[in-house]
C-alpha cells in the first residue's frame, strides 16, 4: 500500500507468501531496526 490512499489500508497480506501485515506494527519494527542499525547516531535513516 502506497500513497495517500494507502493510509486507509491498515492490514494487508503479501501477494507472494501470504503473510499478513499490520501497518502500525510494521512501522514500529522499521523504527526499531533503524535504531539498532545505527546506535548512538542521529535518526538519519527515517
pLDDT in tens, 12-43: 898 999 999 998 999 999 989 888 877 666 65
pTM flag (> 0.75):
no
Quick check: is 46 in a domain? no
42 located within any domain: no
Q: Cell numbers at residue 40, please?
A: 548512538
Domain-located, residue 43: no
Range of the domain at 28: 3-37
Quote the pLDDT of residue 37: 79
Is 21 part of any domain?
yes
Please give the full DSSP string across 2-45, using - where no structure is assigned. -HHHHTT--EEE-TTT--EEEHHHHHHHHHHHHHHHSTTS-S--
In a domain, 7, yes or no: yes
Contact 19, 11 (CB under 8 A): no
* The pLDDT value given to residue 38: 74
Q: Would you say residue 5 has pLDDT above 90?
A: no
- 45 in a domain, yes or no? no
- Is pLDDT at 46 greater than 70 in this prediction? no
Q: For the chain, how many structural domains are there in total?
A: 1
Q: Report pLDDT for 42.
A: 61
Amino acid at each position: 500500500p502506497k500513497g495517500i490512499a494507502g493510509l486507509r489500508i491498515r492490514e494487508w497480506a503479501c501477494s507472494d507468501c501470504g503473510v499478513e501485515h499490520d501497518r502500525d506494527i510494521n512501522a514500529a519494527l522499521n523504527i526499531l531496526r533503524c535504531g539498532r542499525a545505527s546506535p548512538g547516531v542521529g535518526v538519519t535513516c527515517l
